[in-house]
Structure 1
Amino acid sequence: MRITLLVSFFLCYYYCIYITHASPNCLEDQQSLLLQLKNNFTFLDRKQLYSPIIHEIISRSTKLRTWIKTTACCNWSGVTCDNKGRVIGLDLSGEHIIGGFNNSSSLFSLVHLQKLNLNDNYFNTSIPSGFSKLEKLTYLNLSMAGFLGQIPAEISQLTRLVTLDLSFISYSTKPQIPNLQKFIQNLTKIRKLYLDDISITSQGHEWSNALFPLRDLQELSLYNCDLSGPLDSSLTKLENLSIIILDGNNFSSPIPEKFANLKNLTTLRLSYCGLIGTFPQKILHIESLTILDISFNLNLHGSFPEFPLNGSIHSLLIGFTSFSGEIPRTIGNLRNLFELDLSSCRFYGTLPNSMSNLTHLTYLQLSNNYLSGTLPSTLFTLASLEEIWLPFNQFSKFDESINVSSSVLKALSLKSNNISGRFPTPIYQIHSLIFLDIAFNRLNDSLQLDGILELKNLIALDLSYNNISINVNVTNVGHISLPNIRYINLAS
């Protein structure tokens, strides 16, 4: 009995310690400051409303609604305290706050804050310079917060920042950072820097050299920042870089060979960058690389190397470039690949059978190339494949042994090829299909309406410009229906 009581005592004791540690008492001044902050905000709390300002339905607040006097502030949603009851973290992301934020805000009296997230709001005011008072901040996220005007230089005084996210900060104007070097020269602890859709207007060597003091930088995103070329190899001196996102700038230069030296690189995004020259194949051999997007660089030439065993690439987006050559059979080594886009390039030859190894592939886009031969049946056996886009190629026939038993295919486009012969009836069993386009081929067949009616989820069907007839004799007249169909083209 005494042992049972003793065990119960210790369990109760440690439970109380845990509760005290997990939910410290909130200091009175901290709670008061947070209530002042809430009272100055305008946020939707009662019901869903349509906002003519942002043209969408705004959902109600979920965090600020819990901020009431009768509850300790350390238990409020979005609030994190240290063991002394001081507020060290504040997450007000997605609260649909409209206005009520300036330099006199009580927020800037929460001087122990280490993490602040104001993402996804509609403040509709200039960014207060008062952020400089929050000297202990290591994380600051103002992305998509609806601020106006320029980025205040005072943010550069937050020397403890590890993460700074100012991406897409404004919904109306494009803010500027006139001097990137001056703005970040003191932010030497930064590991993650996101400045998407901010006008920086620097040439390649200028902004690359400006980043050089950030020796710990791991993630860099400068999407649509009005940067100009050349794309400078000095960026590779930041050896810890794992993510580089530079889409939507105008470099008008090749990709430096030295990018292949970034051994920690997982993501390289350079779409719509006006890249020229020849793509360095060695980049595709970086062992850690998972995402490569160099699409929409019309004058960027290149071809695929032999891919190493167990390649790590998840997403390979090469569309609308001048890549050419055959697709190597070693593409089957990319067993983690789930997205492949080679559209509007100059690839030729046949699709390798090794593509049957791509068991995680969900999206295949190979339209507008010079691919020929038989359509391999292995495409229809890939259990995860949801979209196949092969129009405007030179395929000539279907494989005779198509098996669709595990197919989750939703879209199949074979438009404008040279496919002749009979239509493969197993496709009728792909009940998940919502889009089917085999127009402008040379199919010669009589299709059963019964079979087509099996595709109950079809939204769009295009069989036009073939030598096809449809047998309308059906066995069950009561079920003549495609309930979701919106578009049918049976021309010629």
Structure 2
Amino acid sequence: MKTLCCLIPLLFLLSCFLSLSQTHLPKPYCLDDQRSPLLQLQTHLYSDFTFSSKFEVWDPNIDCCSWEGVSCDSLGHVIGLDLSYKNLSGSFHSIFDLHHLHRLNLAGNNFNTTLLSYGFDKIPHLTHLNLSNSCFHGQIPMEISNLTRLVSLDLSHQDDCYSRNDAFDYYYLKLEKPNLKTLIKNLKFLTELYLDEVDISSESSKWCETTSLVLSNLQVLSLSWCGLEGPLCPSLSRLSFLSKLVLDYNPISYLPPNFLEISSRLVSLSLMDCNLSSHFPTEILLLPKIQSIDISYNGRLEGQLPEFPSNNALRSLSLSATNFSGSIPSSIENLTHLVNLDLSENHFSGHFPRKVFLLPKIQSTDISDNERLEGQLTEFPSNNALRSLSLSYTNFSGKLPESIGNLKFLTDLTLSRCNFVGSIPSSIANLSIVLNCGCGLCRGCGRSVAVADAADVT
């Protein structure tokens, strides 16, 4: 017992020593062969796309492991480089002399070049590669398929450069040689794949089978605007870890019979403007994990809202410009996590449950262009989070409540072509918005409230 009593203080002191020594471990010091490529990189980069302003943010007198966007391992090797959203242009060839890189993020820049001259096979340890939204165009290089440790690959949204750079010729990334199958065949560890706006049309009918058979660990698949053709393949159910699926603006036409099974583990589903028809399996809205659904702009897609249980996890529901109809169940008030609700341009009828406007997290509600949908506005508490409310072209009626002035976060309010009566509440002057009465601006602050043609409102 005496020996044990003596050991306890010793063990305590030892643990304190180890904790203290770990706290004061020396920071990694950048090696010369790592520092040199970074300094070279700085001389070849410009902080705008006119090549008039040099990229000079790294002080050569400071350890490069402390530079902004640079991270090192314990031996002083650069393993992470984040130069995202710096509005950079120029050449970045020297990056590929950093052979220990694990993470490379060049998203949100203005390189306006192809990727064919860059040696991606020289950084074989790469696990995360993000080149999105940086004005790259042309063929995706074969070397990327040799990055066998990749966990996340993002080459998306290069077309966005067209809108922010008048000098940019309208190009895009494409997958021809290598095609999609060749690109991903060695990327067995990939969990996130973002190829939005990459032209994959040369393999448009085979993409689904290829992806589901090769990328068994996939959690995120985002392929909007890729020129894909449908239908979705039943084998997507093989992707047992898939939690996010985005296929917007691809004419996939219809969903496979087992789509409910495919969706069973999804957290987010987006099939906007996919030329979908027939009946949408609305049981998907009741899946325990689903938080976001956008199937808008599928004008031939039919469905009705289900009864929602109190534990539903939905945060965003967008059904705009579909062919949904029927009543809106009062159980929609059970969606206490709902932030965004868009039921516009449909054929809903009956009475709209007005407690929806009072849901604790709701920020945007659009039920416009449902001409047979009736309802009245409720009294709004001062803590209401609504930022956008559109009721135009509905059969809403009654008076506008004076408490509408409590909506201090409101930026957009559209009430045109309704059946409201009475006067516009004076409290609306409390809001930092523009009031469009159909006869000019009644109050100016840069945002809009449209009540034009709202019947009998004076």
Place the TM-score, normalised by the shorter chain, in its bin.
0.7 to 0.9
Change (3 A) 1:287 1:459: closer
Structure 2 residue 269 is matched with structure 1 residue 271:
no
- Matched with 2:378 is 377
Q: Distance in 2 between matches of 1:163 and 1:327?
A: 40
Q: 1:266: how far off?
A: 1.0
Q: How does 1:58-457 map onto structure 2 within 5 Å?
A: 65-101=56-92, 105-127=93-115, 128-169=117-158, 171=161, 172-178=170-176, 179-201=179-201, 206-211=206-211, 212-254=213-255, 256-355=257-356, 358-378=359-379, 383-398=384-399, 403-404=403-404, 406-408=406-408, 409-419=410-420, 421-423=421-423, 425=425, 428-429=427-428, 431-432=430-431, 434-436=433-435
Q: 1:384: how far off?
A: 0.7
- Matched with 1:477 is none
Specify the code of the residue in structure 2 equivalent to 1:175: L
Specify the code of the residue in structure 1 equivalent to 2:274: C
Q: Does the CA contact (< 8 Å) of 2:412 and 2:447 recur in 1? A: no
- Matched with 2:4 is none
The Cα offsets for residues 230-289 of structure 1, whole Å up to 9 and x where unpaired, read as 122221220101111111111122364424443331110110111111111111111111
Specify the code of the residue in structure 1 equivalent to 2:147: L
Change (3 A) 1:461 1:200: closer
Q: Does the CA contact (< 8 Å) of 1:132 and 1:157 recur in 2? A: yes
Secondary structure at the counterpart of residue 245 of structure 2: strand
Q: Does the CA contact (< 8 Å) of 1:374 and 1:398 recur in 2? A: no
Q: Does the CA contact (< 8 Å) of 1:337 and 1:358 recur in 2? A: yes
Q: Does the CA contact (< 8 Å) of 2:127 and 2:151 recur in 1? A: yes
Q: How does 1:40-51 map onto structure 2 within 5 Å?
A: 41-44=44-47
Secondary structure at the counterpart of residue 71 of structure 2: strand
- Matched with 1:445 is none
Secondary structure at the counterpart of residue 397 of structure 1: strand
Q: Does the CA contact (< 8 Å) of 1:257 and 1:280 recur in 2? A: no
Q: Does the CA contact (< 8 Å) of 1:202 and 1:228 recur in 2? A: no
Q: Does the CA contact (< 8 Å) of 1:270 and 1:293 recur in 2? A: yes
Q: Distance in 2 between matches of 1:224 and 1:113?
A: 31
Q: Distance in 2 between matches of 1:254 and 1:215?
A: 21
Segments of 5+ residues of structure 1 without an aligned counterpart are 1-9, 441-451, 470-492
Q: Percent identity?
A: 35
Change (3 A) 1:281 1:92: same
Secondary structure at the counterpart of residue 221 of structure 2: strand
Which residue of the other structure, out of 35, 38, 45, is the alignment partner of 1:34? Answer: 38
Q: 1:302: how far off?
A: 0.8
Return the TM-score normalized by structure 2. Answer: 0.85
Return the TM-score normalized by structure 1. Answer: 0.79
Q: 1:391: how far off?
A: 0.9
Q: 1:423: how far off?
A: 2.8
Q: Distance in 2 between matches of 1:424 and 1:397?
A: 12
- Matched with 2:5 is none
Segments of 5+ residues of structure 2 without an aligned counterpart are 1-14, 162-169
Secondary structure at the counterpart of residue 348 of structure 2: strand
Specify the code of the residue in structure 1 equivalent to 2:94: S
Q: 1:124: how far off?
A: 2.4
Change (3 A) 1:11 1:24: farther
Specify the code of the residue in structure 1 equivalent to 2:81: L
Change (3 A) 1:71 1:200: same
Q: 1:327: how far off?
A: 0.7
Q: 1:464: how far off?
A: 5.2
Q: 1:42: how far off?
A: 2.8
Change (3 A) 1:382 1:374: farther
The Cα offsets for residues 404-454 of structure 1, whole Å up to 9 and x where unpaired, read as 4632233332211233x42363x53561152446779xxxxxxxxxxx989
Q: 1:205: how far off?
A: 5.7
Across the aligned residues of Structure 1 and Structure 2, the Cα RMSD in angstroms comes to 3.1
Q: Does the CA contact (< 8 Å) of 1:411 and 1:436 recur in 2? A: no
Q: Distance in 2 between matches of 1:318 and 1:367?
A: 12
Range that drifts further, 155-164 or 456-465: 456-465
Change (3 A) 1:438 1:308: farther
The Cα offsets for residues 314-340 of structure 1, whole Å up to 9 and x where unpaired, read as 111100010111111110111111111
Q: Does the CA contact (< 8 Å) of 1:124 and 1:146 recur in 2? A: yes
Q: 1:221: how far off?
A: 0.5
Secondary structure at the counterpart of residue 206 of structure 2: helix
Specify the code of the residue in structure 2 equivalent to 1:355: V
Specify the code of the residue in structure 1 equivalent to 2:155: L
Q: Distance in 2 between matches of 1:461 and 1:412?
A: 6
Q: Does the CA contact (< 8 Å) of 1:263 and 1:286 recur in 2? A: yes
The Cα offsets for residues 135-174 of structure 1, whole Å up to 9 and x where unpaired, read as 1000111111222321001100000000001112354312
Specify the code of the residue in structure 1 equivalent to 2:35: Q
Q: Distance in 1 between matches of 2:352 and 2:393?
A: 15
Q: 1:98: how far off?
A: 1.4
Q: Distance in 2 between matches of 1:465 and 1:407?
A: 20
